[in-house]
Amino acid sequence: MNEKRWVLVTGASTGIGRACAELLASRGFGVYACARKRGDLRALEGIDGVVSLKLDVTSPGDVAAAAKLVRKRGGGLYGLVNNAGIAVAGPLSDISDREMQAQFQVNLFGVHRVTREFLPLLMDSRGRIVMISSDSGFFATPFFGPYCASKFALEGYSDSLRRELAACGVGVVIVEPGRVTTPIWDKGEKSLERSGKSPFAETARKIGEHAIRKGKTAGLPPSAIAEKVREALTVRRPALRYLVAPSTLKYRVIRLLPARRVDRMIQREIERM
């Protein structure tokens, strides 16, 4: 066991996290694959090279217990893949304090809680932290405000962390997927059923339906993101950010254009729906 490099992946029950666990284990890493539900943990345990860990990133007790188990097993920890995330959507005027807090509890505070707990092990190994962000971490879309805000926050957190840890030899890499075909779109369909009072509710519903349809039919497979995670963990000098999308032209244009021009483009796109 001690000959392997060990990596911990949060949110490994499905989608990107599951693909990361499978790929990394197949490439010789030892993988601590984290999930909340007993059935998911049993399924993960069936993958060669994987040790399943019960871990809800919003639970300080779970995080502390997972770190204790990793230390007890020995072998250290070379990599941390902060993948666990949720998406809260809808008109911001309809979003409650509780919903916004839930969004940040997972996508930001959960990341911080896990990173802080495992950082001593990563410093010992001079390892790497991979943050699963999103194209929503630099391009904010209407009616996905909570999710975009959490990913923008994650990007700032990651940049600060990278600069703090540079002298310690611990790398921090951000992976920014575009649309990916994962179960998150099924969960998004449930959010469309909310009975919002906002005057934007109908527009939000149309945009949500469009996003879900594209996500299910035109999204990248989770394995494409997992491959970038593997690269981020293994190459000698990884990029600071990996944008993973079928085409990056749109994103390059958006980053160059004035914000008001981008606003008008979005408005025209909404009017065509």
What's the pLDDT tens digit per position in 2-48?
578 999 999 999 999 999 999 999 999 999 999 999 999 999 999 99
Helices 259-271, 201-218: inter-axial angle, 10-degree rounding: 90
Q: Is 177 helix (H, G, I), strand (E, B) or coil?
A: strand
Do residues 33 and 107 touch, judged by C-beta distance below 8 A? Answer: no
pTM greater than the 0.85 cutoff: yes
Do residues 205 and 165 touch, judged by C-beta distance below 8 A? Answer: no
Q: In what order do the strands lie in the sheet with 6-9?
A: 50-54, 30-35, 6-9, 79-82, 128-132, 171-177, 241-244
Can you give the pLDDT at residue 1? 42
For 70-116, how does the pLDDT look when each residue is reduced to its tens digit (9 = 90+)? 999 999 999 999 999 999 988 898 899 999 999 999 999 999 999 99
To the query of whether residue 242 is one of the catalytic residues in this protein, the response is: no
Q: Model confidence at 186, in pLDDT bands (50, 70, 90)?
A: low
pLDDT greater at residue 243 or residue 191 = 243
Class of the CATH-defined domain 6-178+222-271: alpha beta
Residue 139: how many CB atoms within 10 A of its CB?
18
Can you give the pLDDT at residue 271? 80
**CB-based contacts of 134, cutoff 8 Å, min separation 6:** 147, 151, 176, 177
For 162-180, how does the pLDDT look when each residue is reduced to its tens digit (9 = 90+)? 999 999 999 999 999 999 9
Can you give the pLDDT at residue 204? 75
User: How far is CA 116 from its chain centroid?
Assistant: 17
Catalytic residue among 78, 147, 157, 242: 147
State the Cα angle at 158 between 142 and 262, rounded to 5°: 30
Q: In sequence order, which ranges of the chain are alpha helices (DSSP H)? A: 15-26, 38-45, 60-73, 97-104, 110-125, 145-165, 184-191, 201-218, 222-234, 249-256, 259-271
